[in-house]
Amino acid sequence: MRITVMLLAMLLFFLPLCARAEEGPSSYHLPAYDDQVPSLREAYADFFKVGAAINTFQLQEGSDFYKTVIKHYNVFVTENEMKPQYINPSKGTFSFDAPDRFVAFGESVGASLRGHTLVWHNQVPQWWFKGENGGTATSEELLARMEEYISTVMGRYKGRIHTWDVVNEAISDGSSGLRDSDWVRIIGDLDGDGNAYDFMEYAFRYAREADPDAQLIINDYSLESDSRKLNDFYTAVRTMLEKGVPIDGAGIQAHVSLGYPSIATFEQAIEKLASLKELNPSFTVQITELDVSLFAWNDQSKTKEMTPELQQKFAEYYADLFTMFKRQAEKGNLDMVVTWGVFDGSSWLDGFPVSGRTNAPLLFDRSFMTKPAFWGVIDPALIPEAIAALE
Ligand code: 9MR
């Protein structure tokens, strides 16, 4: 008798819970870290890793930020703190406080880590390009600094940072070929083979030596939308792979605008780059800095009213992107998708390229609430309910 009563009581307790699980969450406008909200990394576990750019000062344990990132992501990258300008500000000085905090955090939550970035024209210490005897550094001086930097930084985190953006943004925007940078000007075509890819070739070889097991990526922007840039990038990577340069993948940053590029154009770019598997079977594509600006590139306005129509367009674009990423992952072309930030309250797109602008390019809003786009990425069929939940 007692047992029957107990069983009945248990049934009465669990039945409503089961019913609720089937019905979905009580609302589609919930804090990102709420238990009823599905986890992005779990939703995509069979397809690719899902990550975000963070800053270590945002990581107070127990904060909304902290709870959100540990729930949703299994890859992290520092937005700024691992750039050479901060790590190696002057000759002989290496500062690892923030990178050490970042790696300790990643390990404490069992996430994979990306190192961003080793060789770039921006946020790089200017002393690297100056000679010991005044004037400009020689190619030997600059390569020695590059080697010291790569071996010191990658060596410190050997086996702990899994993926590195070894070279970032080497392709020119306006004209064809390589960006005109100090790297190209100083190192140039050292081996006389007719191209100035040499600085990248050295960077990748130094990186492979520093941590033979790390995944080495060449990263750039507008590859998903600018066919000329994509072609020049592809030619550079292809030429280097043919020479045996150890490149394991291409990073498509994907700072896109709402509706631009089309999903088809973006998908073709992934397929083109993934075809380089022909030369290196483990070659992969990663989406490394995804965000979706509400503004077209040439739009100068500072704000945009988030009408339900705009929410819908935004959610559908994000959902379509992730559906396409899934398809590409199934083809073995893509292993990681990282957003450039976590929530709209902290995005480089506030104030850029228009100063004073307020943007909203991510999946969680300024109060860490789920946006309809988040639900669209979980399941496109949820978008209408998620928009209705905002009213
Ligand atoms: O998000 C970063 C921003 O806080 C910095 O001011 C900026 C400086 O160049 O770099 C931003 O991150 C960039 C990344 O390192 C490389 N790709 C483009 C990103 C957005 O500008």
Beta-bridge partners for 54? 78
Catalytic residues: 169, 220, 289
Closest C-alpha to 54, from 97, 108, 85, 98 = 98
Q: What is the mean pLDDT of the chain?
A: 95
Q: Is 370 exposed, middle or buried (0-12, 13-18, 19+ CB in 10 A)?
A: buried
Could you list the mean pLDDT of each consecutive 10-residue stretch along the chain, which spans 391 residues? Answer: 58 52 83 98 98 98 97 98 98 97 98 98 98 94 98 98 98 95 98 98 99 98 98 98 98 98 98 98 98 96 96 98 98 98 98 97 98 98 97 85
Tokens of 329: 């992952």
Question: Half-sphere exposure (CA, 13 Å, Cβ side) for 293?
Answer: 25
Nearest CA to ligand 1 atom 1: 348
φ/ψ (deg, to 5) at 8? -60, -45
Which atom of ligand 1 lies closest to the CA of 352? 21
- Asked if 94 and 88 count as a contact pair (C-beta separation under 8 A), the reply is yes
Q: Are 119 and 199 in contact (CB under 8 A)?
A: yes
Distance 83 CA to ligand 1 centre (A): 10
The full DSSP string for 219-277 is EESSTTT-HHHHHHHHHHHHHHHHTT----EEEE--EEETTBS-HHHHHHHHHHHHGGG
pLDDT at 366: 98
Q: Which alpha helices (H) appear in the chain, and where do they start and end?
A: 2-23, 40-43, 64-72, 84-87, 97-108, 139-156, 182-187, 198-210, 227-242, 263-274, 308-330, 372-378, 383-388
Most ligand 1 atoms within 8 A of CB, residue of 117, 220, 348, 359 to mutate:
348
Identify residue 82 by its one-letter amino acid code. Answer: M
pLDDT one-digit tens code per residue, 183-199: 999 999 999 999 999 99
User: Furthest-apart CA pair in the chain: how many Å?
Assistant: 94
